[in-house]
Amino acid sequence: MRIAIVSDFHLGYERFREDAYLQARDAFGKAYSMSDMMIMPGDIFDYRHPKPDVIAEAITLFSELSKKDFSAHMVSFEGKGSAYTEKPIIVIPGTHERRSDTAVDPVDLLGLAGIVVNVNRACAIIEKGSERVAVFGIGGVAEERFKETIAELAFRPVEGAFNIFMFHQSLYELLPFNKEFLHIEELPEGFDLYVDGHIHNKVESKCHGKPFLIPGSTVLTQLKEGEQEDKGFFIFDTEKMTYSFHPINSRKFVMLKIDVSGQDPSKAEEEINSRIKSTISSNGSAKPVIRIELKGRMKEGFKASDLNISKMPASYPEAIVEIARTNVDDASSAREIADLRQGLLENVPIKDYGMALFLDRLKASNYSMKISPSKLFEILSSDSKKDTAISKAVEELFS
């Protein structure tokens, strides 16, 4: 079967409300034409209490989709709630729709309307000919509750089916800043494909030796570096065990990092203007978003507030420009240190950084040995003598 994986539409997202709708619609149309079934790992809405006109947008999108002729259909549903359609449009709520366990969230509404199958804490089996796909879902929960939720539900893969584990959480390997995040290896074993939402840029990785995919959002929200890539969705082919990424029409985002070190304000402004102009001319499409992050220490005697940039965005109606000067250093290095203290670094133990780096390197070298990467890291950091730690690790790996 060909499975489309589309995520994080954020319908109702105020800043790019129309984009959220149009880009989700483009994704639905393209993904439908290339697939037998569709799965969507959360954050359909941007709010847990969307306004009626946003609910109307969602109903319009999903009604149009559910009227289409899918080549696969749902044959069984087990778990929390009920399914009111056989169309293989399988969803879970994300963190943005999360309400208390007993309350009805907006994704429940779409399920009740019979235009999606909500597999939050449930499993749906989809069939096409003799082939079966089982989708197990856990909607977004507080990070510290994810582990216990997995244990509580104790999902068991269906024999003879292609099994998918779909959820909506952070994972430590992707965001190594919080001890509460689950490690990728702690996800339940035995599934053929792991699908996560929540992260707004595309991620392709492995979990227990099987593909682990995050399609990213269909709309710009965070304006982080990773969002400069194309928005889109995955198509996973269960027969070939291959997948591909397909871009949608979406607003372009460009981040420019400009170092103003040693410059006076007029020189710096000149450079900012010229970078904006060249970015606009190379992005002919609908109003790109250009975010400029300034950094560095300006010429002696000048400070960040001397930069005359507040009116600059308004002079580029063909783009959406925002400029951040928080990283421009005034004069003393005391400021730099204060920024560091306030910054993200504060709460990240050095060991966690080490672990993140280590996992990256292992991933890059296609590490596939029997000891889990985190265990290997523990062994390597268990002895202050480098040689002793390495021989312990070698012994574990090759014994």
Binding residues for Mn ion, rule: CB under 5 A, are: 8, 43
Alpha-helical (H) ranges within the chain are: 17-33, 52-66, 106-112, 143-153, 265-282, 333-342, 350-364, 373-380, 386-398
Q: Measured from the CB atom, is 8 or 57 closer to Mn ion? A: 8
Structure-derived torsion over alpha carbons of residues 307, 310, 316, 319, reported in degrees to the nearest 10: 110
Say if residues 48 and 99 touch (Cβ distance below 8 Å): yes
Q: Measured from the CB atom, is 94 or 265 closer to Mn ion? A: 94
Q: How far is the CB of 199 from Mn ion (least distance, A)?
A: 8
Q: Measured from the CB atom, is 188 or 197 closer to Mn ion? A: 197
Q: Work out the angle at residue 277's Cα, subtended by the Cα atoms of residues 274 and 278, and round it to the nearest 5 degrees.
A: 90
Q: How far is the CB of 95 from Mn ion (least distance, A)?
A: 7
CA distances from 396 to 170, 367, 381 (A): 30, 15, 14
Q: How far is the CB of 8 from Mn ion (least distance, A)?
A: 4
Q: How far is the CB of 39 from Mn ion (least distance, A)?
A: 16
Helix (H, G, I), strand (E, B) or coil at 338: helix
Q: How far is the CB of 43 from Mn ion (least distance, A)?
A: 4
Separation of alpha carbons 270 and 329, rounded Å: 19
Q: Measured from the CB atom, is 43 or 227 closer to Mn ion? A: 43
CB nearest Mn ion: which residue?
A: 43
Helix (H, G, I), strand (E, B) or coil at 332: coil
Q: How far is the CB of 194 from Mn ion (least distance, A)?
A: 17
Q: Measured from the CB atom, is 70 or 167 closer to Mn ion? A: 167
Q: Closest Cα to residue 238, out of 83, 127, 74, 139?
A: 127
In the chain, the amino acid numbered 178 is N
Q: Measured from the CB atom, is 14 or 69 closer to Mn ion? A: 14
